[in-house]
Structure 1
Amino acid sequence: MSSRIFSPVFGIGSALSGFALYATHDALTKHLGVTYSVFQIIFFAMLFAFVPMAIMMLVDKSEKNFRPRHPWLVMIRTASSLVALSCGFYSFTVLPLAEVYSLLFAAPLLITIFAIPILGEVVRIQRWAAVIVGMIGVMIVLRPGVSELSFGHMTALTSACANALGSVIVRKVGAEERSAVLIIYPMILAMVVMGALLPGVYVPLQLPDMGMMAAIGLLSVVAQLCVITGYRSAPAGVIAPMQYSQILWAALFGYLFFQETPDIYVGLGSGLIIASGLFLVWRESRTAVSNRNPVSRTFLTRFALASNVMRKSERSSE
């Protein structure tokens, strides 16, 4: 019988640790991006992450196969995950860390928008106001017409959109699809696609760089487990805002290792994006609102899915 700790303080600490590890994961990606193609980085990172994740999922004996019940929606979600991963990794290699996070944090706002046609949710004036404020923040970060918009800015926004789309699709089919299906398919697709592209971009790996690619893959698994523990130890409304701590790590790592100093526009835009995201988390975490607007739970779908796999694994080992 497994023992669990139910403590908001423990949950917050665990989640903060997980998000710090994710920030470290992204800083390593940025460092390696100077020498290696993002396709090569993703391939080896996924390869090292696949082994522990596959072991966890294979322990889940609740169902006999990995066949999706909604193949088209699972296919769209898998493709969107690959787009989000590729675009996100590329953005980290060409843009300041804090700037990338500012744009990726637009995902909760986009989830609210995508939930209207896909989930049939009704978005009322307060949520629309939060979305508009957040989008103003995005425009402040980008400053179109004032500063040059790069391909990296576009890929960061594409990653946010793809993340949001995938999250909403998981909310739509997650109750019927096996968790392992929704986790393992994107990993397999990433390795297949990146493996196919690898011969055209491959650069011989130095041993320290191979170690860093392995670290990226393993950090993603450990970070995910830390955040899962946080969500299992404290209310979601308490843990969800902890993700925004990544902007602090981005500023610190950017300053220490990449000589990056976010300007006032990135700080102001990030503040608006984070404030609007926090409002959406707060509003949708209230019991009465969450019952009507369940899309808030899609914001951290990947953690919920992996948590489900862990719970099933625990039961099978008891």
Structure 2
Amino acid sequence: MDLVWFGFRAFNSFDSLLEAKVPLVSEVLDNRNAVKGALWMCAASIMIAISASCIRELSQTYNTFQLVFFRSAIGLLLLSPWMLKTAKRGKLSTTRFPLYVLRTALSYTGMVCVFFALARMPIGEVYALLFLVPIITIVMAVFLLSEKAGIEALAACGIAFIGALVILRPGVIAISLAAIAVLVTAVTYAGTNICIKALSKTDTPAQITFYGQLLALPLALGPALYFWKMPLFSDLPMIFALGTLQLLAGLFHAYSVRAADARIVQPFNFVRLPASVLFAFIFFSELPSSWTWLGAGMIFTSSYYVLYKEAESRKKPNDEAETLGPT
């Protein structure tokens, strides 16, 4: 009954969104590339949601470090033909290897923490808190890349962090180690975004993907061997599905951002919350609390607002140039 109520409310909210002509939504509906980008982002979110249920199920048998290794090994295996082809073209040399090492270390740490959390706390809460990643990225960009952020953007960041407190409710319930792990993931993923942003100034997406996959496997191998348990034959399909789904999620995300501006497609990343809740309910009879939905709404709304304001600030110089004409 709760799931039916949730579906009814979600449908009504989406219908109201269309009638209200929310800027990014109406822009998506009027632009074919934006529609493609939105669909790719929705597909990426669904892949992540399904993989979360795989992680929860496999965590009953295998250690977190071993699952992260499975994910990295399968991703490298599936990408190896493309990586070898790209390497033969000589397009993978780089002078920024230390930054790649930092990016991989941050990404690996975040992956271990989120896998740990998915095994121990409601899946919906995990992804609700991970909506903090773009907000933390903005804060880190201000301090590490000397980027500017207006008072409105900083206020939105503050509201997002209040949303996280609503979900965690410190002082009302004990903050678990799994919840702390999710927050660590949000910080490390934000740091990964900063590294990618810096790398993209000199290196291609092919280079960033190549070194990310190549360096992740040896980093994951050591801890996995320490906790190693021989995989059961019956678990192999789900293990392969985990690695494949996570890889597809990354590829679909890349296609999404390539098809349309990030400010348009990123709001559709919110699909991962209801999708993950749906699969968690189907497989584990798990539903998040109303506090989780309230906090997630605050975080997502803040992220949406920041993206929209950033888009508006980028549009202004172009509008002025068109008005003034060539000089």
Task: Give TM class, smaller chain.
Answer: 0.7 to 0.9
Greater CA radius of gyration, 1 or 2?
Answer: 2
User: CA 1:229 to 1:173, structure 2 compared with 1: closer, same or farther past 3 Å?
Assistant: closer
Equivalent-residue separation in structure 1 for 2:256 and 2:97 (angstroms): 31
- Report the alpha carbon displacement of residue 67 of structure 1 after superposing the two structures with TM: 4.4
User: Which residue of structure 2 aligns with residue 89 of structure 1?
Assistant: 115
Q: 2:287 aligns with which of 236, 254, 261?
A: 261
Asked whether the 8 Å contact 1:284–1:290 carries over to 2, the reply is no
Q: Is it true that 1:102 corresponds to 2:121 in the alignment?
A: no
- Report the alpha carbon displacement of residue 224 of structure 1 after superposing the two structures with TM: 2.7
Q: Is it true that 1:250 corresponds to 2:263 in the alignment?
A: no
Equivalent-residue separation in structure 1 for 2:199 and 2:105 (angstroms): 15
In the alignment, structure 1 segments of 5+ residues that lack a partner are 293-318
Whichever residue aligns with residue 50 of structure 2, its letter is T
User: CA 1:61 to 1:194, structure 2 compared with 1: closer, same or farther past 3 Å?
Assistant: closer
- Report the alpha carbon displacement of residue 119 of structure 1 after superposing the two structures with TM: 1.0
- Report the alpha carbon displacement of residue 232 of structure 1 after superposing the two structures with TM: 3.3
Superimposed CA distance per residue, residues 246-273 of structure 1 (whole angstroms, 9 cap, x where no aligned partner): 0001211122212212112111111101
When the two chains are superposed, the root-mean-square deviation of aligned CA atoms in Å is: 2.3
User: Which residue of structure 1 aligns with residue 69 of structure 2?
Assistant: 43
User: CA 1:283 to 1:208, structure 2 compared with 1: closer, same or farther past 3 Å?
Assistant: farther
Equivalent-residue separation in structure 2 for 1:260 and 1:149 (angstroms): 19
Secondary structure in structure 1 of the residue aligned to 2:119? helix
User: Which residue of structure 1 aligns with residue 28 of structure 2?
Assistant: none
User: CA 1:271 to 1:290, structure 2 compared with 1: closer, same or farther past 3 Å?
Assistant: farther
Q: Is it true that 1:14 corresponds to 2:30 in the alignment?
A: no
Larger CA deviation: 132-141 vs 54-63:
54-63
User: Which residue of structure 1 aligns with residue 57 of structure 2?
Assistant: 31
Q: 1:187 aligns with which of 213, 225, 237?
A: 213
Show the 5 A alignment for 1:59-78.
Answer: 59-60=85-86, 64=90, 66-78=92-104
Equivalent-residue separation in structure 2 for 1:78 and 1:14 (angstroms): 25
- Report the alpha carbon displacement of residue 121 of structure 1 after superposing the two structures with TM: 0.9
- Report the alpha carbon displacement of residue 289 of structure 1 after superposing the two structures with TM: 6.2
- Report the alpha carbon displacement of residue 102 of structure 1 after superposing the two structures with TM: 1.2
Equivalent-residue separation in structure 2 for 1:276 and 1:63 (angstroms): 43
Q: 1:166 aligns with which of 182, 192, 207?
A: 192
In the alignment, structure 2 segments of 5+ residues that lack a partner are 1-30, 319-327
Superimposed CA distance per residue, residues 203-244 of structure 1 (whole angstroms, 9 cap, x where no aligned partner): 221223121111111112223333333333333322111111
Asked whether the 8 Å contact 1:39–1:197 carries over to 2, the reply is yes
Show the 5 A alignment for 1:168-317.
Answer: 168-286=194-312, 288=314
Given the two structures, how large is their TM-score scaled by the length of structure 2? 0.81
Equivalent-residue separation in structure 2 for 1:240 and 1:249 (angstroms): 16
Asked whether the 8 Å contact 1:6–1:233 carries over to 2, the reply is no
- Report the alpha carbon displacement of residue 36 of structure 1 after superposing the two structures with TM: 0.7
Asked whether the 8 Å contact 1:69–1:176 carries over to 2, the reply is no
Equivalent-residue separation in structure 1 for 2:253 and 2:97 (angstroms): 28
Aligned residues: 288
Q: Is it true that 1:146 corresponds to 2:172 in the alignment?
A: yes
User: CA 1:158 to 1:289, structure 2 compared with 1: closer, same or farther past 3 Å?
Assistant: farther
Given the two structures, how large is their TM-score scaled by the length of structure 1? 0.83
